[in-house]
Chain A
Amino acid sequence: MKRLIALSVLSTLLLTACKASGDTIKIGFIGPLTGDAAALGKDILNGTQIAVEEVNANGGINGKQVQIITEDGRCSGSDATNAAQKLINIDHVVAIVGGSCSSETLAAAAVAESAKTIVMSPSASSPDITQAGEYIFRVYPSDAYKTTAMVKLFQERKYKKIALITENNDYAVAIRIGLKEKLLKDMFVLDEVVDLGTKDFRSVITRLKNQQFDVFIPNASQNAVMGEMIKQFREMGFLQPIVTQDVADTADVLQMVGDQENNVWTFNVPDAGKDTVFEKQFDSSYGKPQAGIVWAAYGYDATRVLLSALQQAQDGESLSKNLLNLQEFKGLIGTFHFDENGDVLGIPLALKQYQAGKIVTIKDIPVD
């Protein structure tokens, strides 16, 4: 009998302990902290942490401190599903920042949508996320705009024949599908999908030897793969211009390709966070960013817009409504708001060019 009493006392204590955690507001984070995209994930997480620390230093949300619970999504759908289930069902987070990769965001969206929990992605760009649900938001423009901008560039420059190599993952495949929808089928002299992480493209590129084409699109999802695609294409002696997406807009790829290269063009969101107080704070807290300060800025803004909505309401339904009705949010990445699908509006794209070992912005392209 004593034991029973002791047990029931213990369980009541435990239960009240659970309730006591109501003093903090928990938000979840999903991003790749290990694996090939870890550099990006860590920068975003650090940006998120800076935003949370700022809010906590200013008294938190309604007097409660914000606690961030971090899960590793490994840039994979299955890991992100597990992470989202744990965050929602066990940790009872009010909202999730993430996933960083499109595959993570899509997987987490399926879990979060049915639990009416907000998912705010800092960096997922797959066009599929537009229709992922009413609780799914992102501060990063959809790739649909990126392929539209590419096609426009091809028309301006009168490129008729295109060689495309795609690395097989959600992000790069979505770009490929976007291009195929917007261009005629016979414009592709090469359209190959290679395994994730392939580093030897010599045999595929060899096929181009007797072909006439105007532009090469290396469509990789990882820095190491993108670098090899560009390098091996040039090593085979091809001089055609190279047009591609944001993976090429990283210091890593630029370094691999070398400073002799002047004919690589890449579409990305504009640089953000450079030479700001935020960058100084980042450097002093976490050291130099691994993938780029721009990713930290996206993590920072995604978290800040979410935290400012949490000041007003904390249940999923009101949160979603408030975010959709948001007039404008002044962030590091620009002044933005959300459309009816939770996609960001107000962040333009930028066309950039490799010039003697530097990546130079040629022009900003507004998105509408």
Chain B
Amino acid sequence: MQLLVNALLAGSLLALVAGGLSLVYGVLGVFNLALGQLALVGGYATWWLTQQMGLPLLLSIPLGAVIGGLVTWASFELAVAPFYRHHRFLPLVTTIALGMMLDAALLLLFEERPRAILSSEKHMIEFFRMRFSLEQALLVCATILFLLATAAVLQRTALGRRIRATAGHPDAARSLGINSSVLHRMLFIGSGVLAALGGIYMGIDQNLTPTLAFSLTIKAYAALIAGGKDNLFGTILMSYVIALLEQLLVGLPWAAGQYLPAGYQSVVALLFIVVVLLIKPSGLFSSHLRIT
């Protein structure tokens, strides 16, 4: 049972980052490899607001997300907007460069030392032999609510319909009067805000260091690819599945009470993509109808 709690904790972080990724890839068809860095921007901004400026946490979190969104906007104008219409793989290179620049900037601004957004002790709860902190429970609930809200916007509102229309057939959508360039901007910024929330999540639950951006990006891509490249729900579900698999693999005894070495934990995500792609190359939850 404790493993389930652990998986929820790890999966929620992954779902936030991967969810944003899925929105952008589904609609723009663009790979954003600086997403992990953008998550860190949000996390560090929130850390700075609470720990250095002394703002209350509930105010710093939305402000941190806004700062994450603004930086994402700037990166879109700088590294994606001028290129992605020429070829959808160009941003792949420019966002790598952007990620490196952000890495260096974070290192200069916030130094090497680990930064935690919450400095006080956590309030631990024991519940049916599962241990977690009040803060963690709130984080997971907030994440799930937020993701559900995003999904509701996508499915139930006129804006969501436009987004889905543009994802399905950009040219047709444009001919029907949908302003795709504004939509693209909004989505890209939205993905940055989601990622920034992921960074804040990490800063509260664990700590922030400037070097963990890339591994975060990689894991988010694993969830994206396994979930079907343009399906938000699939990606979110796969985030939790990958987290659960990671926990089960090293947390449960396998043959004859032997445990698998913990070093293999991070292989799970990558192995999982390989298996999924072998079974269903388009990802578990993607539908071909949209593309044709």
Bound Cα distance from A223 to B126, whole angstroms = 28
Q: Are A35 and B211 in contact (CB under 8 A)?
A: yes
Q: Are A203 and B126 in contact (CB under 8 A)?
A: no
Q: Are B262 and A224 in contact (CB under 8 A)?
A: no
Q: Are A235 and B131 in contact (CB under 8 A)?
A: yes
Q: Are A204 and B250 in contact (CB under 8 A)?
A: yes
Tell me which residues from 100 to 147 in chain B have a Cβ below 8 Å from any Cβ of chain A. 107, 111-114, 116, 119-122, 124, 126, 131, 133
Bound Cα distance from A168 to B262, whole angstroms = 11
Q: Using Cβ atoms and an 8 Å threshold, which residues of chain B touch A222?
A: 209
Q: Are B113 and A223 in contact (CB under 8 A)?
A: yes
Tell me which residues from 1 to 42 in chain B have a Cβ below 8 Å from any Cβ of chain A. 2-3, 5-6, 9-10
Q: Which A residue sits closest to B136, measured CB to CB?
A: A235
Chain A: interface secondary structure?
Answer: mixed
In the complex, which of the residues B2, B111, B266 contacts A290, with contact meaning CB atoms closer than 8 Å?
Answer: B111
Bound Cα distance from A222 to B112, whole angstroms = 10
Q: Are B262 and A204 in contact (CB under 8 A)?
A: yes
Q: Are A224 and B133 in contact (CB under 8 A)?
A: no
Q: Using Cβ atoms and an 8 Å threshold, which residues of chain B touch A334?
A: none
Q: Interface residue count for B (Cβ, 8 Å)?
A: 36
Q: Using Cβ atoms and an 8 Å threshold, which residues of chain A touch B131?
A: 235-237
A235/B206 contact (C-beta < 8 A), A38-B112, A39-B113 known:
no
A195/B266 contact (C-beta < 8 A), A200-B10, A237-B131, A258-B121 known:
yes
User: Could you say which interface size class chain A belongs to?
Assistant: 35 or more
Q: What is the distance, in angstroms, from B230's C-beta to the closest C-beta of chain A?
A: 29
Q: Does B215 contact A (CB under 8 A)?
A: yes
Q: Are B246 and A203 in contact (CB under 8 A)?
A: yes
In the complex, which of the residues A195, A207, A209, A258 contacts B259, with contact meaning CB atoms closer than 8 Å?
Answer: A207
Q: Are A200 and B206 in contact (CB under 8 A)?
A: yes
Q: Which A residue sits closest to B126, measured CB to CB?
A: A237
Bound Cα distance from A256 to B206, whole angstroms = 9
Q: Does B282 contact A (CB under 8 A)?
A: no
Q: Does B180 contact A (CB under 8 A)?
A: no
In the complex, which of the residues B2, B133, B207, B246 contacts A256, with contact meaning CB atoms closer than 8 Å?
Answer: B207
| Most chain A CB inside 10 Å of its own CB: which residue of B2, B262, B266 | B262
Q: Does B62 contact A (CB under 8 A)?
A: no
Q: Does B263 contact A (CB under 8 A)?
A: yes
In the complex, which of the residues A194, A235, A255 contacts B265, with contact meaning CB atoms closer than 8 Å?
Answer: A194
Q: Are B206 and A202 in contact (CB under 8 A)?
A: no
Q: Are A203 and B3 in contact (CB under 8 A)?
A: yes
Q: Using Cβ atoms and an 8 Å threshold, which residues of chain A touch B133?
A: 235
| Most chain B CB inside 10 Å of its own CB: which residue of A36, A200, A290 | A200
| Most chain A CB inside 10 Å of its own CB: which residue of B2, B119, B212 | B2
Q: Which A residue sits closest to B120, measured CB to CB?
A: A258
Q: Does B261 contact A (CB under 8 A)?
A: yes
Q: Does B168 contact A (CB under 8 A)?
A: no
Interface string of A79-106 (1 = CB under 8 A from B): 0000000000000000000000000000
Bound Cα distance from A193 to B131, whole angstroms = 24
Tell me which residues from 231 to 256 in chain B have a Cβ below 8 Å from any Cβ of chain A. 246-247, 250-251
Q: Are B263 and A252 in contact (CB under 8 A)?
A: no
Bound Cα distance from A200 to B263, whole angstroms = 12
Q: Using Cβ atoms and an 8 Å threshold, which residues of chain A touch B119?
A: 255, 258
Supply 8 A–B pairs (Cβ within 8 Å), ascending by A.
A39-B111, A165-B262, A199-B207, A223-B113, A224-B207, A227-B116, A255-B116, A255-B119
**Beyond the given A197-B212, A252-B113, could you list 14 further A-B residue pairs with CB under 8 A, ordered by the A residue number?**
A34-B107, A39-B112, A39-B113, A197-B211, A200-B9, A202-B9, A202-B247, A224-B113, A224-B207, A235-B124, A235-B133, A255-B116, A256-B114, A291-B113
Q: Which residues of A contact B (CB under 8 A)?
A: 34-39, 165, 168, 192-195, 197-200, 202-204, 206-207, 209, 222-224, 227-228, 235-237, 252, 255-256, 258, 260, 290-291
User: Top 4 closest A-B pairs, CB basis?
Assistant: A224-B114, A203-B251, A202-B6, A192-B262
